[in-house]
């Protein structure tokens, strides 16, 4: 398995802890940065990880910022991405089992290192259940196609 990984400056301190766990699990890591604690823009890293997952270069992705929210919003702009912000293990499990989530995001200012590792392990260890959930994931994908022609605005 290959995991695409990215963080911004707020996630930089947590990065080596997560990367070490992925390495211990024998998972290949495609590290998109950031590579310092210098202030950066989280959408830049979210888009790189999302592209890696969307194209199949990586099977799953992990993104860390201050809250996980900006990373999830940014990653979810990429076709086929189902990024979820999770702050506890049960939601990580359900996101994989029922929603076939393919990118996990969390906030370094919301969860500590031990909880982040638990969340990530549950996310990685939980398979998609398929069955009735395939229909629902298909409907989510159809929403992307319907709204792809809309004009983007921000006020």
CATH number, domain of 125, equals 3.40.1400.10
Question: CB–CB of 102/135 below 8 Å?
Answer: no
In the set 65, 79, 133, 154, the catalytic residue is 65
Domain region containing 76: 2-147
**118 within a domain of the structure (yes/no):** yes
Helix (H) or strand (E) holding 44: helix 42-54
Given a cut of 60, is residue 153 above it in pLDDT? no
pLDDT tens string 11-69: 999 999 999 999 999 999 999 999 999 999 999 999 999 999 999 999 999 999 999 99
How many domains would you assign to the chain? Answer: 1
98 classed as catalytic: yes
7 classed as catalytic: no
């Amino acid at each position: 398995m290959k995991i695409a990984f990215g963080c911004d400056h707020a996630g930089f301190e947590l990065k080596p802890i997560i990367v070490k766990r992925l390495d211990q699990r024998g998972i290949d890591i495609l590290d998109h940065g950031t590579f310092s604690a210098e202030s950066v823009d989280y959408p830049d890293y979210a888009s790189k990880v999302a592209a890696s997952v969307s194209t199949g270069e990586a099977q799953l992705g992990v993104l860390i910022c201050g809250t996980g929210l900006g990373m999830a919003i940014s990653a979810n702009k990429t076709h086929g991405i189902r990024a979820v912000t999770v702050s506890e293990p049960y939601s990580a499990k359900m996101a994989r089992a029922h929603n076939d989530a393919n990118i996990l995001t969390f906030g370094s200012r919301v969860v500590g290192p031990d909880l982040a590792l638990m969340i990530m392990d549950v996310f990685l260890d939980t398979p998609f259940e398929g069955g009735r959930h395939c229909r629902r994931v298909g409907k989510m994908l159809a929403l992307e196609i319907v709204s792809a022609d809309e004009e983007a605005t921000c006020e």
